[in-house]
Amino acid sequence: MAEALAAGTTTSVELTEAHFAQIEKVDVAVHAFLYLDKEGALEQARVSDAKRAEGEVPSSLAGVPLALKDVIVQKGIPTTCGSKMLEGWRPPYDATVVTKLKEAGIVILGKTNMDEFAMGSSTENSAYGPTHNPWDLTRIPGGSGGGSAAALAAFEAPLAIGTDTGGSIRQPAAVTGTVGVKPTYGGVSRYGLVAFSSSLDQAGPCARTVLDTALLHEVIAGYDRKDSTSINAPVPQVVKAAKKLDVKGLKIGVIKELQGDGFQTGVLNRFHEGLDELVQAGAEVVEVSCPTFDYALAAYYLIAPSECSSNLARFDSMRYGIRIGDDGVRSAEEVMNLTRHAGFGAEVKRRIILGTYALSSGYYDAYYGSAQKVRTLLIRDFNAAFAKADVLVSPTAPTTAFKIGENVDNPLAMYLNDIATIPVNMAGIGGMSLPCGLADEDGLPVGFQIMSPAMRDDLMYQVGGTLEAALLAKWGAPLLDNAPVLAAK
């Protein structure tokens, strides 16, 4: 699209209108979007076209439309985080990511659906109803960023922004046959990303190809003095890496702990075929062991809820969002209680309670303290593994997309879906998921995960780009061509 824009064969307004037409056609069934900013998007598109006519092209993605996960604030545009709590709230400021998108001339179509406050792996926890997987509308599109991934897979947007705390970019990418990247922690500013778990959250680029993802990555990444945890160093050259299409001499580490029990056969088959492609392209495969991974999930479910219990304390009805029970008689404390009772969904409450408990005096050392120790050990495991291999690989998720409703009453099964993605967040390194085929059992997309050391995001793009090219040559067409064409309702 960027090429067509550059060649002058289309305009940003045309592209934007075409995407709104597709959204109108299919989103009744998919429900990827929570809010569409038609006026704003078309205005941005007009500005982009006018600038281009005057020779001003702020980035290679100028004029290309994008879907924004509803956990990132955009000035004046409703931001709900998939929660009733923030219904009707219009943020008074732009997230740094949004500022960068706007500066790059990217057209923001609207806000995408998600699990409430990014807590979930299926988008079923959205207060506004689930998103459906374009590959099979009875199935989940992954989560929490199911809306962004589904929008890509349903051709409602060519680019999307997600956020990834335990896999919320990569697992949805895996189950929708799209590409998603969680950059190194600190690589992309978190300013304006409504916090779930501050030490794990990271915004990242989503697209249908590795190169598109890399282009978007370079737009949103970089140091931001408004985010104290952002890294003050040059952004890794991921676009250049994505175009390299060469992995000769690179060592690919296969993580022993992420391929056994609980992984669907079809997922493992496609994963190993992907690995074979990399070997044929000249990479060397080594097996690495990360024994602490067995504890990663448990530690994650202490750290993330602990931080979330504190981050979500601000939703108290005093300054923004809904307010319940303010009858002039009840105290502020009672109104806070009623609002939080009504505003938060079950999963959010579950995690707030877990986190409150884990941080409480007398339990802190046993829970939060131990979880932080596990985190340190995980980082050591990764360091040891990266001493043997340039990148590490695994299937992104143990299974393909499950049925909507299948796991809603079983949080543990739901949590297990993130077993392969969580260690990356815990260690703060980079992770990518790209499609590596369809599972034999159900014909649904399988994700291939590539992990790279902190601030070496370029390596996963290099390997991902090479694998994508090899698979495309093998298949003759992009995987998404196999997805059913969604009919208009």
Query: Residue numbers of the site for another protein (CB under 8 A)?
Result: 72-73, 79, 81, 86, 89, 91-93, 95, 190-195, 197-199, 225-229, 306-307, 309-310, 313-316, 318-320, 328, 332-333, 336, 356, 359-361, 364, 368
CA–CA dist 470, 434 (Å, integer): 13
Q: Which one-letter DSSP state was computed for residue 26?
A: H
Q: Considering the complex, what minimum distance in angstroms separates the CB of residue 117 from another protein?
A: 9
Whichever of 196 and 448 has its CB closer to another protein, that residue is 196
Whichever of 91 and 274 has its CB closer to another protein, that residue is 91
Is position 198 annotated as part of the catalytic site? no
Q: Considering the complex, what minimum distance in angstroms separates the CB of residue 95 from another protein?
A: 6
Buried b (16+ CB within 10 A) or exposed e, 211-242: bbbbbbbbbbbbebeebeebbeeebbbbbebb
Is position 452 annotated as part of the catalytic site? no
Q: Considering the complex, what minimum distance in angstroms separates the CB of residue 351 from another protein?
A: 14
Q: Considering the complex, what minimum distance in angstroms separates the CB of residue 358 from another protein?
A: 9
CA–CA dist 114, 182 (Å, integer): 16
Taking each helix axis from N to C terminus, what angle separates 12-30 and 38-53, rounded to the nearest 10 degrees? Answer: 160
Is position 168 annotated as part of the catalytic site? yes
Residue 423: name the closest of 256, 212, 193, 250 by CA.
256
Q: Considering the complex, what minimum distance in angstroms separates the CB of residue 74 from another protein?
A: 10
Q: Considering the complex, what minimum distance in angstroms separates the CB of residue 198 from another protein?
A: 4
Q: Of these residues, 69, 84, 100, 111, which one is catalytic?
A: 69
Q: Considering the complex, what minimum distance in angstroms separates the CB of residue 474 from another protein?
A: 42
Q: How many CB atoms lie within 10 A of CB 326?
A: 13
Whichever of 105 and 166 has its CB closer to another protein, that residue is 166
Whichever of 225 and 403 has its CB closer to another protein, that residue is 225
Whichever of 198 and 237 has its CB closer to another protein, that residue is 198
CA–CA dist 93, 99 (Å, integer): 10
Q: What are phi and psi of 447, to 5 degrees?
A: -100, 140
Q: Considering the complex, what minimum distance in angstroms separates the CB of residue 449 from another protein?
A: 25
DSSP strands (E only) in 58-154: 65-69, 107-112
Whichever of 189 and 433 has its CB closer to another protein, that residue is 189
Buried b (16+ CB within 10 A) or exposed e, 176-202: bbbbbbbbbbbbbbbbbbbbbbebbbb
Q: Of these residues, 168, 197, 309, 317, which one is catalytic?
A: 168
Place of tokens 């790209």: 434
The first and second tokens of residue 446, run together, are 């399988």
Question: Amino acid identity of 217?
Answer: H
Q: Are 182 and 460 in contact (CB under 8 A)?
A: no
Whichever of 279 and 332 has its CB closer to another protein, that residue is 332
Region of 464 (left: φ > 0; alpha: ψ -120 to 50; beta: rest) is alpha
Whichever of 289 and 356 has its CB closer to another protein, that residue is 356
Q: What are phi and psi of 175, to 5 degrees?
A: -85, -5
Q: Of these residues, 12, 59, 122, 144, which one is catalytic?
A: 144
Q: Establish how many alpha carbons lie within 13 A of residue 351's alpha carbon, considering only the half-sphere containing its beta carbon.
A: 29
CA–CA dist 383, 360 (Å, integer): 32
**Residues assigned a catalytic role:** 69, 144, 168
